[in-house]
Amino acid sequence: MFPGSTRRLSSLAGLLALAGRSSGIGMDRACDLARDLLAFPPGQEEWTGGRSALNADGSPLQLSLSTTDAGQRWHLVADPAFFLAEPADRLATAREAAVRLFACGGAGELTELCRRSISYGPLWLAAGLDGAAKAVYVFAQPAPGEDTWDRVRAWLADVLPDPGPAYATVEALRGHARLAFVCLEGTDRSDARAKLYWRLTAPRSLAAMGVDLLRHPSFTSFLAACLEDKAIGLEGLVLSAGFRVATGEPCDAKVDVCGHCLDLPVGGWIDLIAGCARAFGLRPVPAADLLGAAPGPGAGVAALGLGLDSQGRHRLNLYLSSAGTA
């Protein structure tokens, strides 16, 4: 039985059944990975408290699908040790889980960079259901009297051989954006990325972000398709820029739209996701199966994002939480 309380067990089990079925690894392996990411002690089968900031309802797990023109990859995203009441215990346990995650499998050479990154604040974890890619998302908390963006510059200097291009992005964002978190992700040093995620503090065009890739017209088209005539708050958009860990060069940008903020019906999500996949030449997404319009366990959309790398390749990222909890 997957660990959880009576209230949470069914929702987590449903999401993990969907993860196992969609990725082809089976529910047992999906549950094992989730247990590792959530940092549940061996033998523990339920929790009595704790609320995660990962999803709007406090649940601690997401299933994500990244689709490109070449294929699709599945990941779990988790809030480790969310069930622990004491912040210090929660942080220490989460950091241990992060090091274990990077030390095993193909991301071992990133373990030292993971250790450096997790010293900057609380974190979330993610891992590919194929066992390859790993990611740690860190909420880089400044020390008393320290500016958040200065804290980010210190992290960039810690993980990049040439932080100059990333510094330029930080200075372009300083004053009109608020850091959401930073991220280290990859399978090894050759493909690893250091990423900045932020929210705007005032309306601003994508062209004025100081990130060349965000100027691409695909992002404007994506936002137009998502929003149509809707107006959502600035909290509903998360933007990101990535840099190659091997060189420090810019390599990636992404825009994520909050699913809770869009609040579309299932049919609306299916149409939007299918339309985006067609518009950007990507593999079709089995949205009807994933969202419960077909038989089997469904899920709710936590976020939908469009990414673009420095080679001009698009990807659509769909983040799912337990149905009705996005």
Kindly report the number of other CB atoms within 10 A of residue 200's CB atom. 16
- Is residue 1 pLDDT above 50, yes or no? no
Q: In terms of Cα–Cα distance, which of 273, 325, 321, 263 is closest to 72?
A: 273
Residue 230's pLDDT is: 86
d(CA 261, CA 56): 10
How many CA atoms lie less than 13 Å away from 37 in the CB half-sphere?
A: 28
Q: Which residue has the tokens 């990941």?
A: 75
- Is residue 6 pLDDT above 80, yes or no? no
d(CA 259, CA 262): 5
DSSP 132-156: --EEEEE--PPPTT--HHHHHHHHH
Contacts of 268 (CB under 8 A, 6+ apart): none
Phi, psi of 238 (to 5 degrees): -125, 125
Q: Which residue has the tokens 């995203």?
A: 77
Tens digits of residue pLDDT in 105-159 = 656 779 999 999 999 999 999 999 988 889 999 998 888 888 999 999 999 999 9
pTM, full prediction? 0.93
Q: In terms of Cα–Cα distance, which of 245, 247, 217 is closest to 113?
A: 245
Tens digits of residue pLDDT in 257-316 = 999 999 999 999 999 999 999 999 999 999 999 998 655 566 899 999 999 999 999 999
Tens digits of residue pLDDT in 72-111 = 999 999 999 998 889 999 999 999 999 999 998 656 779 9
Q: Are 17 and 59 spatial neighbours (Cβ–Cβ below 8 Å)?
A: no
Q: Are 291 and 321 spatial neighbours (Cβ–Cβ below 8 Å)?
A: no
Structure tokens at 244: 């190659």
d(CA 14, CA 9): 9
